[in-house]
Structures are given as structure tokens and as C-alpha cells.
Structure 1
Amino acid sequence: MKRKPREFSLEAACYIKDHSKYHKITYGELKRMKELDPEAFSSRWFIPIGGALLEVDYQNYQDFYRAKERQDYLEALDEEYYAISYETLKEQTHREKEAISFKEVDVNKIVEASMLFEELRKALSRLNKDEATLIKALYFEDQTVKALANRQDVSVHTIYKQKKRILQKLRKMIEG
């Protein structure tokens, strides 16, 4: 799968392979070569390295973008969970360390949530097959209402009505 090319200045360096040797050209020259002979470049793979483009084989191209996607994913997790490096913690003063607060655990809420979860599990087991399938798809398999409607060949509105009815039924089972 080719990725959307990143924009480079026309003067940026590009290194293309020609008989196992690299030749340096500008990005502008590379674009012109691609326009003149798009078929010749359809099976050539480039990765950005230090502001330049480097031609590589397909396996290296895949490895590069797999590693880049993994790095982006890890950075997103760090951001989501407010990751702090060990080095940062070592450099902070004692007062700054105390400023990092952790939420206190409310045991009562944990117990209540566990009990509700158990009641929900029991209520789910009492649903008929179609109801259970719908709830499982929406809430445990992260399927969309639209996808379910298409798969079952019904309207989106029908799926919403079924979902609402089933959730009301579950609520009554849990409260009753």
C-alpha cells in the first residue's frame, strides 16, 4: 500500500537506485520523472530520511512504516495516559513529586460497580438469541448501528428501536 506522499521542497534531495547504486537528484526532478513515466515508478518505494527521500525495496518500506505507526501509537498512549519518564521523575524536586496526585480509591464504588456488573451479566444471559447478538455486536464488538443495519438488511431506525427496547428490558431486569 502506497502512502500519501509528504510534501518536500522541489530542491530537497532524493536518492534513487540505479543498478544497486544511489544517485542524488532533486525532488523536482523526481516528480518530473514520475510524470513522464508513471509506470516505471509504480513499483518503486521511497521513505523520508532526514528531509530527503530514499528509494528502498518493498520490505524496507513496509518495515519503516510499520515502525512509524507503532511509534505513533505508543506516543498516543503516552499522551492519553500522561506518561512521565523515569528520568523526568528523577530530576524533579521532592515538592514536585508530591504535586503528582493519584485519585484515592473508593472501595464502596468498586463494590457497587462489581455488583451491578454481576446483575448485568445475569440479565444479559436471560436475553433471547437475537437480542443478545445485537447487544454483543454493539457493545462488545464495537460494531456500528449502520453496519448492523446493512448486515441484517433493515433500516438504521429499526436497529435503534431494537437497541432501545433491549436496553429498557435490561434495565427492568436489573432494577427488578
Structure 2
Amino acid sequence: MIMEVSEKEYIGFYRNKRRQKYLDEQRRDNVDVSCDALNSDEINGEEILIAELPDVCDTLVHQQLLDKLRKTVDALPEDEKALIVVHFYDEVPQTELAERYGVSQQAISKKIAKIRAKLKKLLEN
């Protein structure tokens, strides 16, 4: 069908047509994926793309508590510090510690409980 249009309308039509062709080529070349294409019965496509960022305040508070705990552990006497580090940081079980120290597992458990109570008291100050 042939229609008579103004030059401005003609240029605008073909400009939009070229723009659409360019966008289609970009989508094809860059493999654009819409959020709707990611949808399924169990998953909403938008939820996949949303990154959960940790709360900065929570991260800072957690870091400050860890720093305070490290300083408090460093302030313990060497024997208590060594026991805490080996048990909690190196994850050596109490039964193995009992064998190393030549005492019962209950004795190690009581010693660790006393040190934890001491740490708790020091951290509260």
C-alpha cells in the first residue's frame, strides 16, 4: 500500500525502523535474557537477579565483636589461651585434648567452661 506522507514522517519512520533493527542485533549478539524467560513454577526470574547484600552495620558490629574477642583471648594466660585456640580455632575435639594433656575429657570440658565464663565476664566489661 502506498501512502503519501511528509518528509518528516518518512524520516522518523525509517529512523525508528533502523533503531529497532539495531536493538534486535544487539540482543542477538549479546544474548539478552529477560526476567520473564527465567520464570518457572518454583522460581520468580527477578529473584534470581537480585543480589542480597549484607547489612553494612551488622558487618561492622560483627567485626568489632571479633576484634574484641581476639584481644580478650590474647589477654588470657598462655595455658588457657593455648587450650581455647586449639579447641575452637583448630577444632581439636575434647577427647583428643584429654589425651594430649593426660586428663579426662570431663576435666577438659570443665576447664574450657571456666575459660569461657572468664571470657564472657571480660567481654562484658
Matched, 1:94 2:57: no
Query: 5+ unaligned residues in a row in structure 1: which ranges?
Result: 1-89
Matched, 1:115 2:64: yes
Q: CA-atom RMSD, angstroms?
A: 1.9
Runs of 4+ in 1 over 4 A off after TM superposition: none
Give the 5 Å matches for 1:1-176: 93-95=34-36, 96=38, 97-100=45-48, 101-176=50-125
Higher relative contact order (CA 8 A, sep 6+): 2
Q: TM-score, normalised by structure 2?
A: 0.63
1:155: Cα distance to partner?
0.5
Aligned length: 87
Q: How far apart are the structure 2 equivalents of 1:162 and 1:173?
A: 17
Please tell me whether Structure 1 or Structure 2 has the larger radius of gyration of its CA atoms.
2
1:108: Cα distance to partner?
1.0
Query: 5+ unaligned residues in a row in structure 2: which ranges?
Result: 1-30, 39-44
Structure ranking higher in strand proportion: 1
Structure ranking higher in helix proportion: 2
